[in-house]
A and B are shown apart, each in its own frame.
Chain A
Amino acid sequence: MKIKRLVYICMLLLVILPFVLITDMFPFLRFGMFAEPVKKDQPAELFYVLYYADRQWKKFDPEQYELQDETFQYLARNYYYRQEGQVLLSRLHRSDVARGEHWRFYRVSFPPGFPEFRDTLLISSL
Protein backbone atom coordinates (compact mmCIF):
# COMPACT_ATOMS: atom_id res chain seq x y z
CA MET A 1 0.00 0.00 0.00
CA LYS A 2 2.86 2.32 0.89
CA ILE A 3 4.67 1.44 -2.36
CA LYS A 4 1.50 2.09 -4.36
CA ARG A 5 1.07 5.53 -2.81
CA LEU A 6 4.74 6.41 -3.20
CA VAL A 7 4.92 5.31 -6.85
CA TYR A 8 1.64 7.04 -7.70
CA ILE A 9 2.75 10.34 -6.16
CA CYS A 10 6.28 10.20 -7.63
CA MET A 11 5.19 9.21 -11.14
CA LEU A 12 2.40 11.77 -11.36
CA LEU A 13 4.64 14.52 -10.01
CA LEU A 14 7.49 13.61 -12.36
CA VAL A 15 5.20 13.48 -15.38
CA ILE A 16 3.58 16.80 -14.50
CA LEU A 17 6.82 18.60 -13.48
CA PRO A 18 8.11 19.16 -17.07
CA PHE A 19 4.66 20.53 -17.95
CA VAL A 20 4.87 23.01 -15.07
CA LEU A 21 8.48 24.03 -15.73
CA ILE A 22 7.92 24.03 -19.52
CA THR A 23 11.06 22.05 -20.11
CA ASP A 24 12.29 18.50 -20.61
CA MET A 25 13.76 16.74 -17.61
CA PHE A 26 14.85 13.48 -19.16
CA PRO A 27 13.48 10.82 -18.86
CA PHE A 28 10.42 12.91 -18.03
CA LEU A 29 9.50 15.11 -20.95
CA ARG A 30 7.37 18.08 -21.87
CA PHE A 31 4.99 17.49 -24.76
CA GLY A 32 5.12 20.86 -26.46
CA MET A 33 5.60 19.74 -30.04
CA PHE A 34 3.64 21.99 -32.41
CA ALA A 35 2.37 24.01 -29.44
CA GLU A 36 4.28 27.19 -30.24
CA PRO A 37 2.46 29.73 -32.40
CA VAL A 38 3.83 30.28 -35.89
CA LYS A 39 3.98 33.53 -37.79
CA LYS A 40 2.48 33.64 -41.25
CA ASP A 41 5.69 35.04 -42.73
CA GLN A 42 7.99 32.68 -40.81
CA PRO A 43 10.53 31.35 -43.32
CA ALA A 44 11.41 27.70 -43.72
CA GLU A 45 15.07 27.03 -42.96
CA LEU A 46 17.60 24.49 -44.08
CA PHE A 47 21.23 24.24 -43.10
CA TYR A 48 24.06 22.56 -44.89
CA VAL A 49 27.81 22.24 -44.65
CA LEU A 50 30.36 22.02 -47.46
CA TYR A 51 33.88 20.70 -47.02
CA TYR A 52 36.86 20.91 -49.34
CA ALA A 53 38.58 17.60 -49.97
CA ASP A 54 40.29 16.01 -52.99
CA ARG A 55 40.40 19.41 -54.72
CA GLN A 56 36.65 19.90 -54.74
CA TRP A 57 33.82 21.14 -52.53
CA LYS A 58 31.55 18.34 -51.26
CA LYS A 59 28.28 18.55 -49.40
CA PHE A 60 28.38 16.99 -45.95
CA ASP A 61 25.73 14.26 -45.95
CA PRO A 62 24.81 13.27 -42.36
CA GLU A 63 22.88 10.20 -43.53
CA GLN A 64 26.11 8.80 -44.96
CA TYR A 65 27.20 8.49 -41.33
CA GLU A 66 23.87 6.96 -40.26
CA LEU A 67 22.78 10.25 -38.75
CA GLN A 68 19.25 11.42 -39.38
CA ASP A 69 19.16 14.61 -41.38
CA GLU A 70 16.52 15.87 -38.93
CA THR A 71 19.01 15.54 -36.04
CA PHE A 72 21.72 17.35 -37.98
CA GLN A 73 19.33 20.16 -38.98
CA TYR A 74 18.32 20.63 -35.34
CA LEU A 75 21.94 20.73 -34.22
CA ALA A 76 22.98 23.13 -36.99
CA ARG A 77 19.99 25.37 -36.27
CA ASN A 78 20.96 25.63 -32.60
CA TYR A 79 24.55 26.53 -33.48
CA TYR A 80 23.35 29.13 -35.96
CA TYR A 81 21.05 30.85 -33.47
CA ARG A 82 23.68 30.73 -30.73
CA GLN A 83 25.97 32.42 -33.26
CA GLU A 84 28.41 29.52 -32.95
CA GLY A 85 28.87 28.63 -36.62
CA GLN A 86 32.64 28.50 -36.15
CA VAL A 87 32.26 26.09 -33.24
CA LEU A 88 30.05 23.82 -35.37
CA LEU A 89 32.62 23.72 -38.15
CA SER A 90 35.59 23.16 -35.85
CA ARG A 91 33.72 20.30 -34.14
CA LEU A 92 32.91 18.74 -37.49
CA HIS A 93 36.54 19.18 -38.47
CA ARG A 94 37.70 17.46 -35.27
CA SER A 95 35.23 14.59 -35.62
CA ASP A 96 35.81 11.70 -37.98
CA VAL A 97 32.80 12.43 -40.23
CA ALA A 98 34.78 13.80 -43.15
CA ARG A 99 38.38 14.77 -43.85
CA GLY A 100 37.99 18.33 -45.03
CA GLU A 101 40.71 20.96 -45.35
CA HIS A 102 38.20 23.81 -45.43
CA TRP A 103 34.65 24.00 -44.19
CA ARG A 104 31.66 26.25 -44.91
CA PHE A 105 28.36 26.52 -43.10
CA TYR A 106 25.29 27.79 -45.00
CA ARG A 107 21.72 28.72 -44.15
CA VAL A 108 18.99 28.53 -46.78
CA SER A 109 15.69 30.28 -46.08
CA PHE A 110 12.55 30.49 -48.19
CA PRO A 111 8.83 31.18 -47.77
CA PRO A 112 7.08 27.95 -46.69
CA GLY A 113 5.97 26.03 -49.78
CA PHE A 114 8.08 28.13 -52.19
CA PRO A 115 11.61 26.69 -52.20
CA GLU A 116 12.25 28.34 -55.59
CA PHE A 117 12.51 31.71 -53.75
CA ARG A 118 15.42 30.52 -51.66
CA ASP A 119 17.95 32.82 -50.11
CA THR A 120 21.34 31.30 -49.30
CA LEU A 121 23.63 32.83 -46.73
CA LEU A 122 27.19 31.87 -45.81
CA ILE A 123 27.28 31.78 -42.01
CA SER A 124 30.85 30.75 -41.24
CA SER A 125 33.89 29.30 -42.83
CA LEU A 126 36.92 27.50 -41.47
Chain B
Amino acid sequence: MINRRLSFFIGFSAFLLIAPVICYVIWGEQLILKAYLGEEPDWLHKIIEILYPRFFAEKNRLELSFFLAKVNQLVLRYAIVLIAVCVCVSLYETSHNFRKRLSGFTEIKTSIHNVYILRILFFFILLVATRDVYQDLKALRHLSTFYSPVGILQLVHLPFPGQYASFLIYGILFLSSVLVIFGVRPVLFSVLAMGAFVIYQAYLYSFEKIDHGYAPFTYACMLFPFLLREREHAKKNDCIYFNSWSLQLILIITCLVYFLSGLEKILISGVGWLSPVTFKTYLLLHDTVIGKKVASVEFLVVLFPALALLLQLSFPLMLFFRGLKYLILPAGLLFHIGTVVLFGISSFENPWLFNYIFFFDWSGIGARLSFLPPYFRT
Protein backbone atom coordinates (compact mmCIF):
# COMPACT_ATOMS: atom_id res chain seq x y z
CA MET B 1 0.00 0.00 0.00
CA ILE B 2 2.81 2.36 1.02
CA ASN B 3 4.75 1.44 -2.11
CA ARG B 4 1.75 2.12 -4.35
CA ARG B 5 1.18 5.49 -2.67
CA LEU B 6 4.84 6.36 -2.92
CA SER B 7 5.04 5.31 -6.59
CA PHE B 8 2.03 7.49 -7.36
CA PHE B 9 3.58 10.43 -5.51
CA ILE B 10 6.92 10.08 -7.32
CA GLY B 11 5.16 9.71 -10.68
CA PHE B 12 3.03 12.79 -10.03
CA SER B 13 6.09 14.78 -8.90
CA ALA B 14 7.95 13.73 -12.05
CA PHE B 15 5.03 15.04 -14.10
CA LEU B 16 5.04 18.32 -12.10
CA LEU B 17 8.73 18.62 -12.85
CA ILE B 18 8.88 17.58 -16.48
CA ALA B 19 5.72 19.30 -17.83
CA PRO B 20 6.64 22.88 -16.84
CA VAL B 21 10.27 22.39 -17.90
CA ILE B 22 9.19 21.20 -21.37
CA CYS B 23 6.75 24.12 -21.67
CA TYR B 24 9.52 26.51 -20.66
CA VAL B 25 12.00 25.05 -23.16
CA ILE B 26 9.46 25.31 -26.02
CA TRP B 27 7.77 28.67 -25.28
CA GLY B 28 9.62 30.28 -22.35
CA GLU B 29 12.27 32.43 -24.03
CA GLN B 30 9.84 33.65 -26.69
CA LEU B 31 7.32 34.80 -24.08
CA ILE B 32 9.99 36.56 -22.02
CA LEU B 33 11.21 38.36 -25.13
CA LYS B 34 7.63 39.48 -25.89
CA ALA B 35 7.17 40.70 -22.32
CA TYR B 36 10.47 42.56 -22.51
CA LEU B 37 9.33 44.31 -25.69
CA GLY B 38 5.92 45.05 -24.16
CA GLU B 39 4.10 42.75 -26.61
CA GLU B 40 3.08 40.03 -24.14
CA PRO B 41 -0.42 38.51 -24.20
CA ASP B 42 -2.91 39.67 -21.55
CA TRP B 43 -2.74 36.50 -19.46
CA LEU B 44 1.05 36.80 -19.16
CA HIS B 45 0.77 40.50 -18.32
CA LYS B 46 -1.60 39.63 -15.45
CA ILE B 47 0.71 36.89 -14.15
CA ILE B 48 3.69 39.26 -14.20
CA GLU B 49 1.63 41.96 -12.46
CA ILE B 50 0.83 39.53 -9.64
CA LEU B 51 4.14 37.71 -9.31
CA TYR B 52 6.75 40.22 -10.40
CA PRO B 53 5.35 43.77 -10.58
CA ARG B 54 8.87 45.27 -10.46
CA PHE B 55 9.44 43.84 -13.95
CA PHE B 56 7.77 46.85 -15.59
CA ALA B 57 10.30 49.18 -13.95
CA GLU B 58 13.29 46.86 -14.19
CA LYS B 59 12.88 46.07 -17.91
CA ASN B 60 13.73 49.68 -18.69
CA ARG B 61 16.93 49.52 -16.70
CA LEU B 62 18.19 45.97 -17.16
CA GLU B 63 19.08 43.87 -20.19
CA LEU B 64 17.03 40.97 -21.53
CA SER B 65 19.74 38.52 -20.43
CA PHE B 66 19.06 39.46 -16.79
CA PHE B 67 15.43 38.30 -17.04
CA LEU B 68 16.30 35.17 -19.01
CA ALA B 69 18.80 34.27 -16.28
CA LYS B 70 16.15 34.95 -13.65
CA VAL B 71 13.63 32.60 -15.26
CA ASN B 72 16.34 29.94 -15.65
CA GLN B 73 16.93 30.36 -11.92
CA LEU B 74 13.25 29.96 -11.22
CA VAL B 75 13.12 26.68 -13.15
CA LEU B 76 16.30 25.46 -11.45
CA ARG B 77 15.01 26.31 -7.95
CA TYR B 78 11.65 24.72 -8.67
CA ALA B 79 13.41 21.51 -9.76
CA ILE B 80 15.73 21.47 -6.72
CA VAL B 81 12.88 21.98 -4.23
CA LEU B 82 10.64 19.40 -5.91
CA ILE B 83 13.43 16.80 -5.97
CA ALA B 84 14.31 17.55 -2.32
CA VAL B 85 10.65 17.11 -1.31
CA CYS B 86 10.51 13.82 -3.26
CA VAL B 87 13.65 12.50 -1.54
CA CYS B 88 12.35 13.49 1.92
CA VAL B 89 8.91 11.94 1.35
CA SER B 90 10.47 8.74 -0.04
CA LEU B 91 12.80 8.44 2.96
CA TYR B 92 9.94 9.20 5.33
CA GLU B 93 7.77 6.49 3.83
CA THR B 94 10.45 3.83 3.56
CA SER B 95 12.92 4.35 6.42
CA HIS B 96 11.83 3.92 10.03
CA ASN B 97 15.14 5.39 11.19
CA PHE B 98 14.65 8.57 9.13
CA ARG B 99 11.09 8.97 10.43
CA LYS B 100 12.31 8.66 14.03
CA ARG B 101 15.13 11.16 13.51
CA LEU B 102 12.87 13.61 11.70
CA SER B 103 10.32 13.40 14.49
CA GLY B 104 13.07 14.11 17.04
CA PHE B 105 14.39 17.01 14.98
CA THR B 106 11.02 18.72 14.70
CA GLU B 107 10.67 19.11 18.46
CA ILE B 108 12.68 20.74 21.22
CA LYS B 109 12.43 20.20 24.95
CA THR B 110 11.34 23.33 26.75
CA SER B 111 9.55 24.35 29.94
CA ILE B 112 6.48 26.39 30.83
CA HIS B 113 8.85 28.86 32.57
CA ASN B 114 10.85 29.36 29.39
CA VAL B 115 7.73 30.03 27.30
CA TYR B 116 6.47 32.37 30.01
CA ILE B 117 9.59 34.56 29.76
CA LEU B 118 9.59 34.32 25.95
CA ARG B 119 5.96 35.43 25.97
CA ILE B 120 6.74 38.54 28.03
CA LEU B 121 9.91 39.36 26.08
CA PHE B 122 8.40 38.78 22.65
CA PHE B 123 5.24 40.80 23.17
CA PHE B 124 7.10 43.55 24.98
CA ILE B 125 9.44 43.79 21.96
CA LEU B 126 6.38 43.81 19.68
CA LEU B 127 4.92 46.68 21.70
CA VAL B 128 8.13 48.70 21.48
CA ALA B 129 8.81 47.89 17.82
CA THR B 130 5.31 48.95 16.76
CA ARG B 131 5.01 52.05 18.92
CA ASP B 132 4.82 54.22 15.77
CA VAL B 133 2.12 52.27 13.95
CA TYR B 134 -0.48 55.01 14.21
CA GLN B 135 2.01 57.72 13.20
CA ASP B 136 3.25 55.63 10.26
CA LEU B 137 -0.23 55.03 8.90
CA LYS B 138 -1.17 58.66 9.47
CA ALA B 139 1.91 59.83 7.57
CA LEU B 140 1.21 57.50 4.65
CA ARG B 141 -2.22 59.07 4.20
CA HIS B 142 -0.43 62.03 2.60
CA LEU B 143 0.63 59.66 -0.16
CA SER B 144 -2.64 57.78 -0.55
CA THR B 145 -2.63 58.62 -4.29
CA PHE B 146 0.34 56.24 -4.58
CA TYR B 147 -1.46 53.43 -2.74
CA SER B 148 -0.88 50.17 -4.56
CA PRO B 149 -2.16 47.42 -2.23
CA VAL B 150 -0.17 44.22 -1.74
CA GLY B 151 -1.89 40.93 -2.66
CA ILE B 152 -3.40 40.20 0.75
CA LEU B 153 -5.18 43.60 0.79
CA GLN B 154 -6.35 43.22 -2.81
CA LEU B 155 -7.81 39.87 -1.85
CA VAL B 156 -9.96 41.29 0.95
CA HIS B 157 -10.60 44.59 -0.89
CA LEU B 158 -9.43 46.77 2.00
CA PRO B 159 -9.03 50.46 1.17
CA PHE B 160 -6.30 52.61 2.70
CA PRO B 161 -7.23 53.12 6.35
CA GLY B 162 -8.66 56.40 7.54
CA GLN B 163 -7.89 57.92 10.92
CA TYR B 164 -10.25 55.65 12.90
CA ALA B 165 -9.16 52.47 11.14
CA SER B 166 -5.49 53.35 11.75
CA PHE B 167 -6.25 53.92 15.40
CA LEU B 168 -8.16 50.64 15.55
CA ILE B 169 -5.21 48.69 14.09
CA TYR B 170 -2.87 50.27 16.60
CA GLY B 171 -5.37 49.80 19.44
CA ILE B 172 -5.80 46.09 18.73
CA LEU B 173 -2.06 45.59 18.42
CA PHE B 174 -1.28 47.47 21.63
CA LEU B 175 -4.08 46.06 23.77
CA SER B 176 -3.63 42.48 22.59
CA SER B 177 0.12 42.59 23.27
CA VAL B 178 -0.45 43.95 26.79
CA LEU B 179 -3.06 41.27 27.51
CA VAL B 180 -0.73 38.52 26.27
CA ILE B 181 2.06 39.84 28.50
CA PHE B 182 -0.29 39.60 31.49
CA GLY B 183 -1.44 36.14 30.45
CA VAL B 184 -5.08 37.07 29.72
CA ARG B 185 -6.39 34.61 27.09
CA PRO B 186 -2.87 34.58 25.58
CA VAL B 187 -3.67 32.31 22.63
CA LEU B 188 -6.61 34.41 21.46
CA PHE B 189 -4.91 37.76 21.93
CA SER B 190 -1.64 36.61 20.37
CA VAL B 191 -3.65 35.75 17.23
CA LEU B 192 -5.25 39.20 17.27
CA ALA B 193 -1.88 40.91 17.80
CA MET B 194 -0.42 38.90 14.92
CA GLY B 195 -3.33 39.84 12.64
CA ALA B 196 -3.00 43.55 13.42
CA PHE B 197 0.77 43.39 12.97
CA VAL B 198 0.44 41.77 9.53
CA ILE B 199 -2.26 44.24 8.42
CA TYR B 200 -0.09 47.17 9.56
CA GLN B 201 2.84 45.89 7.51
CA ALA B 202 0.57 45.21 4.54
CA TYR B 203 -0.39 48.90 4.50
CA LEU B 204 3.17 50.01 5.07
CA TYR B 205 4.36 47.99 2.05
CA SER B 206 1.52 49.04 -0.24
CA PHE B 207 3.63 51.84 -1.68
CA GLU B 208 5.72 49.66 -4.02
CA LYS B 209 8.56 49.21 -1.50
CA ILE B 210 8.57 46.04 0.55
CA ASP B 211 10.93 46.03 3.49
CA HIS B 212 12.27 42.76 4.85
CA GLY B 213 13.07 44.15 8.28
CA TYR B 214 10.17 42.53 10.13
CA ALA B 215 10.06 39.26 8.17
CA PRO B 216 11.60 36.72 10.62
CA PHE B 217 9.84 38.45 13.52
CA THR B 218 6.52 38.19 11.67
CA TYR B 219 7.06 34.46 11.06
CA ALA B 220 7.71 34.03 14.80
CA CYS B 221 4.58 36.08 15.51
CA MET B 222 2.54 33.70 13.33
CA LEU B 223 3.84 30.67 15.22
CA PHE B 224 3.69 32.10 18.74
CA PRO B 225 -0.01 31.27 19.34
CA PHE B 226 0.83 27.58 18.78
CA LEU B 227 3.63 27.83 21.36
CA LEU B 228 1.24 29.39 23.88
CA ARG B 229 -1.31 26.68 23.12
CA GLU B 230 1.32 24.01 23.80
CA ARG B 231 2.21 25.70 27.08
CA GLU B 232 -1.44 25.80 28.15
CA HIS B 233 -1.74 22.11 27.36
CA ALA B 234 1.39 21.30 29.40
CA LYS B 235 0.10 23.35 32.34
CA LYS B 236 -3.24 21.54 32.22
CA ASN B 237 -1.38 18.23 32.43
CA ASP B 238 0.82 19.54 35.29
CA CYS B 239 3.96 19.17 33.18
CA ILE B 240 6.77 21.66 33.66
CA TYR B 241 8.79 20.30 30.74
CA PHE B 242 7.32 19.44 27.36
CA ASN B 243 8.44 18.87 23.78
CA SER B 244 7.53 21.88 21.66
CA TRP B 245 7.28 21.66 17.88
CA SER B 246 6.31 25.33 17.44
CA LEU B 247 9.38 26.64 19.26
CA GLN B 248 11.58 24.38 17.14
CA LEU B 249 9.78 25.58 13.99
CA ILE B 250 10.49 29.21 14.97
CA LEU B 251 14.18 28.30 15.31
CA ILE B 252 14.17 26.42 11.99
CA ILE B 253 12.46 29.29 10.15
CA THR B 254 14.83 31.89 11.65
CA CYS B 255 17.86 29.86 10.54
CA LEU B 256 16.27 29.18 7.16
CA VAL B 257 15.74 32.89 6.54
CA TYR B 258 19.45 33.62 7.02
CA PHE B 259 20.39 30.57 4.97
CA LEU B 260 18.10 31.57 2.08
CA SER B 261 19.59 35.10 2.14
CA GLY B 262 23.05 33.59 1.67
CA LEU B 263 21.92 31.07 -0.91
CA GLU B 264 20.19 33.82 -2.88
CA LYS B 265 23.49 35.68 -3.24
CA ILE B 266 25.28 32.61 -4.56
CA LEU B 267 22.49 31.64 -6.96
CA ILE B 268 21.99 35.13 -8.35
CA SER B 269 25.56 36.40 -8.53
CA GLY B 270 27.67 33.25 -8.19
CA VAL B 271 31.14 33.62 -6.74
CA GLY B 272 31.17 37.07 -8.32
CA TRP B 273 29.28 38.26 -5.26
CA LEU B 274 32.45 37.69 -3.23
CA SER B 275 34.46 39.89 -5.54
CA PRO B 276 35.82 42.99 -3.78
CA VAL B 277 34.50 45.12 -6.68
CA THR B 278 30.89 44.20 -5.84
CA PHE B 279 31.26 45.00 -2.14
CA LYS B 280 33.20 48.19 -2.84
CA THR B 281 30.53 49.41 -5.28
CA TYR B 282 27.77 48.71 -2.73
CA LEU B 283 29.73 50.67 -0.12
CA LEU B 284 30.23 53.64 -2.42
CA LEU B 285 26.61 53.59 -3.60
CA HIS B 286 25.40 53.86 0.01
CA ASP B 287 27.87 56.62 0.72
CA THR B 288 28.45 56.50 4.50
CA VAL B 289 31.57 57.89 6.19
CA ILE B 290 32.77 54.54 7.59
CA GLY B 291 31.66 52.71 4.44
CA LYS B 292 33.90 54.93 2.30
CA LYS B 293 36.83 54.34 4.63
CA VAL B 294 36.34 50.56 4.51
CA ALA B 295 36.04 50.74 0.70
CA SER B 296 39.59 52.05 0.54
CA VAL B 297 41.07 49.11 2.49
CA GLU B 298 41.61 46.21 0.06
CA PHE B 299 41.88 43.59 2.79
CA LEU B 300 38.51 44.51 4.33
CA VAL B 301 36.57 44.53 1.04
CA VAL B 302 37.73 40.94 0.55
CA LEU B 303 37.14 39.83 4.14
CA PHE B 304 33.73 41.34 4.96
CA PRO B 305 31.61 39.81 2.15
CA ALA B 306 33.23 36.41 2.72
CA LEU B 307 32.43 36.54 6.44
CA ALA B 308 28.87 37.74 5.78
CA LEU B 309 28.21 34.87 3.38
CA LEU B 310 29.79 32.32 5.72
CA LEU B 311 27.66 33.58 8.59
CA GLN B 312 24.39 33.42 6.65
CA LEU B 313 25.04 29.94 5.34
CA SER B 314 26.14 28.63 8.74
CA PHE B 315 23.01 29.67 10.68
CA PRO B 316 21.28 26.25 10.30
CA LEU B 317 24.28 24.59 12.01
CA MET B 318 22.88 25.92 15.30
CA LEU B 319 19.96 23.51 14.92
CA PHE B 320 22.35 20.55 15.07
CA PHE B 321 25.05 21.92 17.36
CA ARG B 322 23.30 24.08 19.97
CA GLY B 323 26.58 25.38 21.43
CA LEU B 324 27.35 27.20 18.19
CA LYS B 325 24.82 29.87 19.13
CA TYR B 326 27.49 31.48 21.32
CA LEU B 327 29.56 32.02 18.19
CA ILE B 328 26.93 32.55 15.48
CA LEU B 329 24.51 34.86 17.31
CA PRO B 330 27.18 37.43 18.38
CA ALA B 331 28.50 37.28 14.81
CA GLY B 332 24.92 37.93 13.62
CA LEU B 333 24.72 40.92 15.93
CA LEU B 334 27.94 42.32 14.47
CA PHE B 335 26.64 41.63 10.95
CA HIS B 336 23.52 43.74 11.56
CA ILE B 337 25.53 46.50 13.22
CA GLY B 338 27.78 46.38 10.15
CA THR B 339 24.86 46.97 7.76
CA VAL B 340 23.87 50.06 9.76
CA VAL B 341 27.39 51.47 10.01
CA LEU B 342 28.62 50.61 6.51
CA PHE B 343 25.44 51.04 4.45
CA GLY B 344 23.26 53.24 6.64
CA ILE B 345 20.47 50.68 6.26
CA SER B 346 17.94 49.91 9.01
CA SER B 347 18.85 50.88 12.58
CA PHE B 348 20.45 49.37 15.65
CA GLU B 349 16.94 48.35 16.65
CA ASN B 350 16.94 45.68 13.95
CA PRO B 351 13.94 43.33 14.12
CA TRP B 352 16.03 40.44 12.75
CA LEU B 353 17.82 40.43 16.10
CA PHE B 354 14.57 40.05 18.03
CA ASN B 355 14.31 36.38 17.06
CA TYR B 356 17.59 35.64 18.82
CA ILE B 357 15.68 35.42 22.13
CA PHE B 358 14.29 32.03 21.04
CA PHE B 359 17.75 30.47 20.97
CA PHE B 360 18.22 30.88 24.72
CA ASP B 361 16.62 28.96 27.56
CA TRP B 362 14.99 31.32 30.07
CA SER B 363 13.64 28.54 32.31
CA GLY B 364 15.90 29.49 35.23
CA ILE B 365 14.65 33.09 35.31
CA GLY B 366 11.03 32.04 34.81
CA ALA B 367 11.15 29.52 37.67
CA ARG B 368 12.48 32.16 40.08
CA LEU B 369 9.50 34.48 39.59
CA SER B 370 7.12 32.66 41.93
CA PHE B 371 7.35 35.48 44.49
CA LEU B 372 5.64 37.93 42.12
CA PRO B 373 1.91 38.81 42.16
CA PRO B 374 -0.35 36.30 40.30
CA TYR B 375 -0.39 38.01 36.88
CA PHE B 376 3.42 38.02 36.75
CA ARG B 377 3.85 34.44 37.92
CA THR B 378 4.54 31.57 35.58
Q: Is the CB of A67 within 8 A of B60?
A: no
Other-chain contact of B205, A16, A26, A36, A83 (Cβ < 8 Å) = A26
- In angstroms, Cα B1 to Cα A59, docked, is 72
1/0 per residue, CB under 8 A from A, across B25-58: the answer is 0000000000000000000000000011010111
Q: Which residue of A lies closest to B305 (CB)?
A: A34
Q: Is the CB of A40 within 8 A of B277?
A: yes
Binds A, one of B121-129, B137-145, B185-193: B137-145
Cβ contacts under 8 Å, B272 to chain A: 37
Q: Is the CB of A19 within 8 A of B77?
A: yes
Which residue, A32, A36, A95, has most C-beta atoms of chain B within 10 A?
Answer: A36
B354 within 8 A of A: no
Binds A, one of B171-179, B256-264, B369-377: B256-264
Q: Is the CB of A7 within 8 A of B246?
A: yes
Other-chain contact of B281, A12, A112, A115 (Cβ < 8 Å) = A112
Minimum Cβ distance to chain B for residue A107 (Å): 12
- Chain A stretch 8-56: residues in CB contact (< 8 A) with chain B: 8, 11-12, 15-16, 19-27, 29-40, 42, 44
Binds A, one of B110-118, B208-216, B323-331: B208-216
Cβ contacts under 8 Å, A35 to chain B: 261, 264-265, 267-269, 273
For chain B, what secondary structure do more than half of its interface residues adopt (helix, strand, loop), or is it mixed? helix
Cβ contacts under 8 Å, B138 to chain A: 66
Contact-residue bracket for chain A: 35 or more
Other-chain contact of A44, B142, B226, B284 (Cβ < 8 Å) = B284
B74 within 8 A of A: yes
- In angstroms, Cα B280 to Cα A42, docked, is 12
Q: Is the CB of A26 within 8 A of B261?
A: no
- In angstroms, Cα B287 to Cα A36, docked, is 18
With contacts defined as CB atoms under 8 Å apart, how many contacts are there between chain A and chain B in the complex?
158
Cβ contacts under 8 Å, A32 to chain B: 261, 264, 268
- In angstroms, Cα B272 to Cα A47, docked, is 29
Q: Is the CB of B284 within 8 A of A11?
A: no
Cβ contacts under 8 Å, B246 to chain A: 7
Q: Which residues of A line the B interface, CB within 8 A? A: 3-4, 7-8, 11-12, 15-16, 19-27, 29-40, 42, 44, 65-67, 70-71, 74-75, 77-78, 81-83, 91-92, 94-97, 112-113, 115
Minimum-distance CB pairs A-B, first 6: A112-B284, A66-B139, A113-B284, A31-B261, A81-B57, A91-B145
A sample of 20 inter-chain contacts (CB < 8 A) reads: A8-B106, A20-B74, A20-B78, A21-B51, A31-B260, A35-B265, A35-B273, A36-B269, A37-B272, A38-B277, A38-B278, A38-B285, A42-B285, A65-B143, A66-B136, A67-B143, A75-B146, A81-B57, A91-B146, A95-B145
Q: Which residues of B line the A interface, CB within 8 A? A: 51-52, 54, 56-58, 60-61, 70, 73-74, 77-78, 81, 106, 135-136, 138-140, 142-146, 150-152, 198, 201-202, 205, 207-210, 212, 215, 218-219, 222-223, 226, 245-246, 249, 252-253, 256-257, 260-261, 263-265, 267-269, 272-273, 277-278, 281-282, 284-285, 287, 292, 295
